[in-house]
A and B are shown apart, each in its own frame.
Chain A
Amino acid sequence: MSEGLETEVKTNPQGDPITSAPEAPKAESGKGRKDPHGDAKRQVEVSPEFMFNEAPREREFITGSECAKEAVRRSNVDMSVAYPITPQSETLQLIGVLYGEGYVKEFYRGEEEYGVMSAIAGASRAGVRAFTATAGPGTLRGLEPIVSWAGHRLPAVCMFTCRVVNAPLAIQPDNIEIAYLLNSGMLVFHAENQQDLFDFIMKGFIISEKNDVTLPVGVCCDGFFVTHARGYCSMPDKKYKLPARDPYRGSVPVLDAENPPARLSRDAPVQKSNFMAYNIHAVWQQEVWAGVERSRKYIEQYMDGLLEAQDVEGADVLLIASGSAAAQSREAVRQCKERGIKAGLIKIRSLRPFPTNELRKLCGKAKLIVIPEFNYTGWLAKDVATAIYGFSNAKIVAGPHVYGGMSMPVEMITDEVECGLTGKKSNTVPPSAIMGVADPAAVAEFMKSI
């Protein structure tokens, strides 16, 4: 089949390996069956630079799950292990479609997330490129293996389609699980929309496998809002794929009995209580986080920076957000401007490493910072406040927050901007969650009401 004849193949959201494989030729054509892996075999490897910056792109209107599928299709992924959980299930069943089509070479449905994340560790150790995804309770179930990936220096990409984790259990969007990932040693990116998801997954593989990084990457998005909703995603042609993983490029040897193994936790002393044990663990942790630091330059190179700043120059009010909260904040900035408020947006793409220096530079002149989040506890506000302490005199509003599946009306954010600027009492953010303003009376009032 020549390329000229290849018509635009729309992705099939509900596809399965049979229906989405190219149709077999009609009997009268006289030719043999078409190789279902044909298109995958014809893919050509291109450099990350060509794939990300130069390859012509076409725009499609597809769901986040489909974006993940299309990213994996172009990422030369060797192996994926799947386990269903709402709202992630569709993503990994679409990766199953890719397996049927030959784009992913090895795939199976695992027993549960602990088993899946362990198998991903095994695959990464074997030197192949591995991808999986999970959500909410699945993230927590798989957390023990997940937090060990970084220490074992295992490059891989895991997508987290965030949802409620605590009781009363719900399947609805809520990104509290990111709080648990922030200290795992993996790089953590937060996608605002379908396009981000597509880009972050592909770029995640390349950054993850850089020699001086050699760490796993978590690509988070808010479940349903991104996974199930459609958005525009511009993508290079699917005839291209990223270069394969070079197993010998990592900073820690892969376990293939072809080169000397890493002396990591195989060393008995690490398990013992003596100074050498403490020292080995300590320097290893330092090295993991040094790897996280070293990834900054690649995030700048491939992802256009750890954050995106919009209209920050001269702004009195800054909205700082990640994920779906960034999308709502973008509209809030527009509405604030209509009302004559000088507002700007900082969208944080990379939560680990965290854009500390960037924020210090950008927040110096702001009077008010509002940090809307899709979770109860406000993990982003804590990180932002810690980062800019001493570098900004702005009042920081840790809110508004929605959780348990609620969407965030833009008015919630603009109200907070108004209250923050005027001193009017907020309906949604308690005074105790407003930093940078000492008002014991307000705090006492708040304490009285609970």
Chain B
Amino acid sequence: MSLDYVKFTPGFGKFMPKEYRDMVEHGPFGKKTAVSQVGTFKEIMEEHPMCAGCAMTLFIRLAFIAFPNPEDTITVGTAGCGRLAISQAAVPFVYGNYGDQNGVASGLSRGLRLRFGDKPKDVVVMAGDGGMADIGFAQTLHSWFRKEKFTTIMLDNEVYGNTGGQESGMTNKGQVLKMAPLGKKFEKMDMLGMAKVAGCAYVATVVPNNPRRVESVIKKAILIAREVGPTYIQAYTSCNIEYAIPTDQVMQDAKDVENDRYKFQEYITDEAKEHLATLYGYKEYLPKPAAAVTKG
């Protein structure tokens, strides 16, 4: 049982740092935790080196809370701001090469399936828009076409934040950024459309100012990816530095962007609905009562 590794070696507990003791004694491992309970348990990711007011950090924190099985989850990422926070979490994280995350996750999830069979070992890719839509584009798309069973989450801040504010494929047309001195000349890439075309079983957009929704889409995406197929979540996680959003207006910006170009979208295949309903008790996806009436 993997929970063993987050416990103390007998007799050593009292010598461990408080952070660690809190994680063992009050962490989410082996329990069901929810966003609504924040403050009553030790979170997987709390301290981090991110900028003040970073919406991406809030999103990552919520994402970790939403993991249905954090003790059996492995995250995979690539260069970008996100990994500075993800790497501080109390779940294993793979930081490999530039844009390799969906390739690594393909090998990792298949390898874990060989070793552990049906025992869930959730693989979750979390990487930025540049890492996913630009440098890692081929591997992202191909992992979807191959129907790899893991979740891909894009931390979309619409810019290369970590390298200092260059245009990415997910930047909006006309936006002036470094490497786009005259404004970006083509539209924001439609990764959501491509995810559907490539065969993702579940696709959703989300913004971090709605924690319950973040929790809901991430739980669904991970549960579906276990048996049905690839899932994709595209999260707007603004860069308040490069887009000069005042710290106290980051949440307002998220709301504005949600209303403008990041309206909540959720796409779920029938197979995925059935899977959630039968295996995980999602009532909203149970067959409609009308069907029962015709039967009776």
A119 to chain B: which residues have CB within 8 Å? 103-104, 106-107, 110
Among A125, A261, A265, which residue has the most Cβ atoms of chain B within 10 A? A125
Instruction: Check if A112 sits within 8 Å of B106, measured CB to CB.
Output: no
A264 and B92 alpha carbons, distance in the complex (Å) = 11
Asked if A256 meets B97 with Cβ closer than 8 Å, knowing A123-B107, A261-B92, the reply is no
Interface presence of A115 (CB below 8 A) = yes
Asked if A130 meets B107 with Cβ closer than 8 Å, knowing A257-B73, A257-B91, A257-B121, the reply is yes
Given A145-B97, A255-B108, 9 more pairs with CB closer than 8 A: A114-B138, A115-B100, A118-B96, A118-B104, A122-B76, A122-B107, A125-B104, A257-B73, A267-B87
Instruction: Check if B87 sits within 8 Å of A122, measured CB to CB.
Output: no
A411 and B112 alpha carbons, distance in the complex (Å) = 54
- A122 contact from B5, B72, B111, Cβ within 8 A: B111
Asked if A258 meets B84 with Cβ closer than 8 Å, knowing A110-B103, A128-B115, A145-B100, the reply is no
A127 to chain B: which residues have CB within 8 Å? 111-112, 115
Instruction: Check if A268 sits within 8 Å of B87, measured CB to CB.
Output: yes
Interface presence of B114 (CB below 8 A) = yes
| Chain B residues close to A by CB (< 8 Å) | 2, 4-5, 49, 71-74, 76, 84, 87-88, 91-100, 102-116, 121, 138-139, 142, 146
Instruction: Check if A115 sits within 8 Å of B112, measured CB to CB.
Output: no
Instruction: Check if A79 sits within 8 Å of B5, measured CB to CB.
Output: no
A145 to chain B: which residues have CB within 8 Å? 96-97, 100, 103
Task: Please provide the chain A residues from 137 to 185 with a CB less than 8 Å away from any CB of chain B in the complex.
Answer: 144-145, 148, 152
Interface bracket on A: 35 or more
Interface presence of A121 (CB below 8 A) = yes
A122 smallest CB distance to B (angstroms): 3
A17 and B108 alpha carbons, distance in the complex (Å) = 25
What are 28 A-B interface contacts by the 8 Å CB criterion? A78-B114, A79-B111, A110-B103, A114-B103, A114-B138, A115-B100, A115-B102, A118-B96, A118-B107, A118-B139, A120-B107, A121-B96, A124-B111, A126-B114, A127-B111, A145-B96, A152-B96, A255-B108, A256-B116, A257-B2, A257-B5, A258-B4, A258-B5, A260-B5, A266-B87, A266-B92, A266-B95, A268-B49
A78 and B84 alpha carbons, distance in the complex (Å) = 33
A120 smallest CB distance to B (angstroms): 6
- Please name the residue on chain B nearest to A148 by beta carbon: B97
B174 smallest CB distance to A (angstroms): 32
A79 to chain B: which residues have CB within 8 Å? 107, 110-111, 114
Interface presence of A212 (CB below 8 A) = no
Interface presence of A307 (CB below 8 A) = no
